[in-house]
Structure 1
Amino acid sequence: MADHDDHDDESNEGRTTAPQSDYSMREVAIGTVVALIGLGVTFGIPLLVA
């Protein structure tokens, strides 16, 4: 079988996906708000309907 290595060895500095990347406080705040809204939808609506 042939080795299908379609990825370039060049690094692209414009995009990183490592979980160790630094996050700004703005990004942390947005993530917290999104999580709280998700929890509110997940648990709040069923509690209101019940």
Structure 2
Amino acid sequence: MVASLEALRPGDVVLVPGGRRAGYAVVVEADGAPGLEGPRPTVLTVDRR
């Protein structure tokens, strides 16, 4: 899973499988430096969140 998140690039479209923000999102910024919880890319959802 971590390798998949590290491979994301701006413009990639991803499917968030569950939770409050489930659905499609586009990667705005890929955070290559993992934090304590791993990589955390910035995404924009279909409803602009």
Do they fold alike, i.e. is TM over 0.5? no
- Indicate the structure (1 or 2) with the bigger Cα radius of gyration: 1
Q: Which has the higher strand share?
A: 2
- Category of TM-score, reference length = shorter chain: under 0.3
TM-score relative to the length of structure 2: 0.23
TM-score relative to the length of structure 1: 0.23
Q: Which has the higher helix share?
A: 1
Q: Which has the higher contact order (CA 8 A, sep 6+)?
A: 2
